Amino acid sequence: MKEMKAYLVVSNETKNLATVREFVLNTLKEAGAPASCARQVVLAVDEAVSNIIRHAYKEFSSGTRTIDITVLTRGRCVEVILRDSGKEFDPATYQDPDIKEHIRQRKKYGLGLFLIRKVMDEVKYVFKSGVENELRMVKYINAEEES
């Protein structure tokens, strides 16, 4: 896979999710990432940005804050870094949902972090007090996906 670094800034509006998905997909296509890897990364980024808009920026008006998105590709590794200045989130307080119960109750939301952790190989969250949230997600491409 070609080494690349791409950067995008969007405002905290759900209408920007399509732009984010397209940006990530096009970056990974240009880098030569396998389609299966690209789909998983796009899903994770879409869920993460949705969570930032709905939760971290919940108290802010739509369009008044930004989300910085960096996509890095090198070797067999895709790394996505998301930064925002919204409300802090402590992933240690999160428990994976009971999927059967979630489906039984026909819930529409609540699977974002669960899905992110399932499709990405590494997920790391850092909060810099009073400054920003940073979410780093890494996906490794295995040899079977490259062929």
Phi-psi region for residue 63, left (φ > 0), alpha (ψ -120 to 50) or beta?
Answer: left
pLDDT band with cut points at 50, 70 and 90 for residue 89? confident
pLDDT tens digits, one per residue of 44-86: 999 999 999 998 998 889 889 999 999 999 999 999 999 999 9
25-34 pLDDT, tens digit each: 999 999 999 9
Instruction: Decide if 147 is inside a domain.
Output: no
Question: How far is the C-alpha of 18 from the C-alpha of 138, rounded, in Å?
Answer: 21
Q: CATH number of the domain that 56 lies in?
A: 3.30.565.10
Residue 2: alpha-carbon gap to chain centroid: 21
What is the span of the domain harbouring residue 128?
4-142
| Dihedral sign (CA 3, 128, 69, 93) | positive
How much is the pTM?
A: 0.87
Tell me, yes or no, whether 122 lies in a domain. Answer: yes
Number of compact structural domains in the chain: 1
